[in-house]
Amino acid sequence: MQTPLTVIILTGENDICLPLIKRVADDPRINVAGIIYDKKKSQPKRSVLQLIRRHLYYSGPLETLLYIIRRLFPGSSRNGKVVQPSSLGKIHAFTEEEKIPFVAVDDINTENAAHQIKTFNADLGVVIGTSILKPNILNSTSRGMINVHQGKIPEYRGGDTVFWSLFNDEKELGVVIHQVIEAVDAGKILLEELIPLKYDYTKYGDKFEVYLDEIKEVLDRLSVRLVYDAMIQIAEGTDMQRTVDIVMGKRHRKASFRNKQELRERLRQRFGQPRN
């Protein structure tokens, strides 16, 4: 019987890590040596004024007001949905049950975090929702690290890739598993799968956020499967990689409130709807 691939999972606030851990927990080809949870990514340290300014820039006045209300009255709902607890507690509870070592760090890029990672002697690091990693972290496993990216590479590197795909009227969305290098979303691709991007204006109108929430669930399920498949291929030595030419693409940033307003107008024009 072959020696299992020892992996360490580096994660933060997301909906992918826990389903992935559950999927690999009983697979004899994979040994999850530990989980490192990046609290800085999940709970960035900003002042109240910085947070409000950030919300104004990215979400606009109304969402900022709702954010302030939620801060003052924890547990309040958004769009009729109860705000869910963070993934930290859920992941920690499962790892305790499965006896998988779990370490929460204030910042994944510190020397302390690098030391914690190295103590696990992992073959492979699996990155799911952390801060951008520095070289001392990238070099802390013997076979490097892989990352899941919900966006076509190299066309849509960076953040809010589904938003920008819809903004640009793309016809497909991609989920990519790639090696992690210093350049963002620029490492060699191990696996990629595309799904159609079909926006139903009759159903969603210009409330694209509802569509993004729904398609995220589809992309998350696909992401879990592809990360798992990539881990198995690496464990069995059947993985194949192709180089990314980042010159052919672009690194995208998080969409601002103005970007979101422009997308609403684009959707109205795209589907022949009158302006409000």
Amino acid (one-letter) located at 41: K
Residue 100: which residues within 8 A CB-CB, separation 6 or more? Answer: 21, 25, 32, 34, 35, 94
- For residue 118, give the CATH number of its domain: 3.40.50.170
Of residues 14 and 52, which shows the higher confidence score?
14
pLDDT for the residue numbered 83: 43
pLDDT for the residue numbered 82: 44
Mean pLDDT of all residues in the chain?
90
At 31 the three-state DSSP class reads strand
The whole-number average pLDDT for the span 23-33 is: 94
pLDDT for the residue numbered 80: 47
Q: Could you read off the pLDDT of 121-143 as tens digits, one per residue?
A: 999 999 998 989 999 899 899 99
| Lowest mean pLDDT across 66-80, 87-101, 199-213, 232-246 | 66-80
Inside any domain, residue 275 = no
Tally of structural domains, the chain: 1
Inside any domain, residue 226 = yes
Q: What's 145's DSSP letter?
A: E
Inside any domain, residue 176 = yes
Of residues 78 and 155, which shows the higher confidence score?
155
Task: Show the DSSP H helices in 143-241 as ranges.
Answer: 161-167, 201-204, 208-236
Inside any domain, residue 276 = no
| Lowest mean pLDDT across 1-5, 122-126, 163-167, 187-191 | 1-5
Inside any domain, residue 175 = yes
Inside any domain, residue 149 = yes
The whole-number average pLDDT for the span 262-273 is: 94
pLDDT for the residue numbered 243: 94
Domain holding 55, by residue range, is 5-270
Report whether pLDDT(63) > 60.
yes
At 17 the three-state DSSP class reads helix
Inside any domain, residue 174 = yes
Angle in degrees, CA 75, 76, 80, rounded to 5 = 125
Task: Show the DSSP H helices in 82-131 as ranges.
Answer: 87-98, 111-118
Inside any domain, residue 25 = yes
pLDDT for the residue numbered 48: 76
d(CA 265, CA 276): 9
The whole-number average pLDDT for the span 70-91 is: 65
Between the two ends of the chain, the Cα-to-Cα distance in Å is 65
Residue 221: which residues within 8 A CB-CB, separation 6 or more? Answer: 19
**How large is the greatest C-alpha to C-alpha distance in the chain, in angstroms?**
65
Q: Could you read off the pLDDT of 186-240 as tens digits, one per residue?
A: 999 999 999 999 999 999 999 999 999 999 999 999 999 999 999 999 999 999 9
Reading the block at residue 111, the tokens are 């020397």
pTM for this predicted structure: 0.89
